[in-house]
């Protein structure tokens, strides 16, 4: 499978299909507020709430749209909360396609504690999707992504969805010859097989949970990532390391990318912003190492935004100019 990429930095001509399609199987209505102190039992008086459409793929789509990409967000949604997510995407002018489901879309709640600047995040499991609703998601994906450069599937799987569902997504992408970028966790990550994922992006925590080891040092982290590649989970892996930057690992090499220093802020959506930046860079025709630097800049820019708001293109472009060149961790260097 060869990525379909063009050397452009703007959205496509109106009327042409999206260059990037995101799939969010467990979207959320994100609610963010603040209070002086979080404590048990007592009533905590909160400030005004901010509402945003959320879930991994939707977050990726919002950032990709802010970066000027031609993008479409595909997601199942139900109930009043699903209506709210859809309405907010429409109001923002973000192209989307909703698959209607019976059960209501989940809500996620974030509370910022003013006294300590700590953040508390409460995430609900999500709706139960019927077998026909799951099949509808795959059918719609095959339809809307047939001419796209990339599909990005990101986020948790809702209850009752088989842990090998992302393998079914990968098979759809293989059939339509569209490269898949996957940001999965938990069982969705552990059950990957077949090597049809172009790029897999776990966090270091998710990688530890997947292989069942502490991964204390860089060498162990690279070895664990390569283990998943050799297992057939993906062709390339980006492991996000938070303040330590990121690792790019292939079957033949590895590189470490330093983080970009920014003032501390909300960490909500930083990983999704990284995926959006990488995908936008690849869609511009950039090589994977350059695209990863753009992703690191996008993740850093997300730390500068309030709550679950999307980062800005100006911040990402400015931070991209400050990103450092990667450090080669292998004598041969990675083959990209």
Query: Is 272 marked active-site?
Result: yes
**Structure tokens, 279:** 């995908």
DSSP labels, 236-297 = EEEEE-GGG-EEEE-SS-EEEEPPPP------TTHHHHHHHHHHHHHHTT--HHHHHHHHHH
Buried b (16+ CB within 10 A) or exposed e, 69-105: bbbbbbbbbbbebbbbbbebbeeeebbbebbebebbb
User: Is residue 97 within a helix (H) or strand (E), and if so which, with residue range?
Assistant: strand 96-100
Please state, in angstroms and as integers, the Cα–Cα distance from residue 151 to each residue in 27, 132, 135, 240, following that order: 16, 22, 17, 20
State the Cα–Cα distance between residues 76 and 158, nearest whole angstrom: 11
How many CA atoms are closer than 13 Å to the CA of 171, on its beta-carbon side?
A: 11
Q: What is the DSSP letter of 203?
A: B
Q: Catalytic residue, from 34, 183, 272, 315: name it.
A: 272
The set of catalytic residues is 272
């Amino acid at each position: 499978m060869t990525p379909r990429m063009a050397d452009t930095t703007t959205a496509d001509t109106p009327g042409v299909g999206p260059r990037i399609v995101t799939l969010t199987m467990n979207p959320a209505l994100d609610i963010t507020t603040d209070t002086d102190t979080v404590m048990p039992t007592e009533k905590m008086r909160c400030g005004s709430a901010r509402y945003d459409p959320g879930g991994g793929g939707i977050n990726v789509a919002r950032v990709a749209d802010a970066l000027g990409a031609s993008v479409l967000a595909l997601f199942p949604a139900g109930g009043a909360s699903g209506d709210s997510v859809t309405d907010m995407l429409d109001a923002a002018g973000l192209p989307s396609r909703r698959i209607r489901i019976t059960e209501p879309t989940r809500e996620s709640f974030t509370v910022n504690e003013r006294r300590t600047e700590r953040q508390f995040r409460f995430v609900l499991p999500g709706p139960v999707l019927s077998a026909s609703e799951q099949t509808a998601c795959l059918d719609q994906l095959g339809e809307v992504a047939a001419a796209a450069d990339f599909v990005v599937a990101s986020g948790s799987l809702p209850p009752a969805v088989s842990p090998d569902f992302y393998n079914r997504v990968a098979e759809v992408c293989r059939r339509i010859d569209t490269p898949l970028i996957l940001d999965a966790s938990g069982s969705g990550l552990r059950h990957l097989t077949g090597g049809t994922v172009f790029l897999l992006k776990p966090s270091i925590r998710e990688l530890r949970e997947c292989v069942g080891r502490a991964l204390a040092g860089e060498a162990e982290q690279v070895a664990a990532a390569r283990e998943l590649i050799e297992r057939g989970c993906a062709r390339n892996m980006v492991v996000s390391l938070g303040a330590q930057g990121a690792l790019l690992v292939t079957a033949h090499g590895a590189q470490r990318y330093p983080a970009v220093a920014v003032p501390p802020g909300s960490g909500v959506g930083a990983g999704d912003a990284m995926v959006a930046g990488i995908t936008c860079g690849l869609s511009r025709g950039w090589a994977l190492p350059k695209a990863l630097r753009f992703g690191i800049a996008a993740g850093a820019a997300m730390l500068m935004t309030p709550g679950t708001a999307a980062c800005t293109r100006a911040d990402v472009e400015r931070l991209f100019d400050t990103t450092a060149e990667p450090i080669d961790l292998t004598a041969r260097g990675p083959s990209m």
